[in-house]
Amino acid sequence: MSNESLSQRQQRCRKIISKLKKEYPGATTALEHGNPLQLLIATILSAQCTDERVNRVTPALFAKYRNVADFANADQRELEQEIRSTGFYRNKAKNIIACSRMILEHYQGRVPEKMEELLSLPGVGRKTANCVLGGAFGRAEGVVVDTHVERLSQRFGLTKETTPEKIEVDLMKVVPKREWYHFSNLLISHGRAICNARKPNCPECVIQNLCPSSKKFLRLYWR
């Protein structure tokens, strides 16, 4: 990244996206949901938790709490136990109830479709807001930066930053806006399949020649 101009990073990023699209044509959010509210709740639950674990919890949760009023009127202790396995369950339950009440009181019971409005909801940061805007409404106002996106964007040399907020700013400069939401899903898919945290499978990576970190990791296979 240090020797690349912004335009060069943009060009390389477009090539990365093109190859990953062919590799993961169905890449989308792994969080199972049927409407914007369910995606919002699932994304809140996904903090410090795997999508797989969230997907084990949400079917029973969404069967019991069918709309925003149900969540707004939930008993916090009951909800805590129902989402306990996702971790940080007390804070998550508190935020889900408070968030639902605010949606009822300020947004006529509908999940808001604007970034600033979503960010006003308890427990909702930019990652959650970007997930909901992209996944539920098809709107790209930023890039979802989870642990996979953070790790891979650094390895790909698209950013040197270490905080999600600053990484997102860098990615918004090099990723075409029309790809902002899809880009995150592509990186998440690639992170799970190939570019894992400890030992990325660089010999099988379709973007090995576009990744400045590949030479370093390939040495692990040549020893």
Q: Which residues are catalytic?
A: 127, 146
Quick one: how far is CA 67 from the chain centroid?
Answer: 23
Measured distance CA(65)–CA(196) in Å, rounded: 35
- Burial (CB count within 10 angstroms: exposed 0-12, middle 13-18, buried 19+), residue 77: exposed
> Which distant-in-sequence residues (6+ apart) come within 8 Å of 114 by Cβ?
none
- Percent helix, strand, coil in the chain, to 5, is 65, 0, 35
CB 179 within 8 A of CB 17: yes
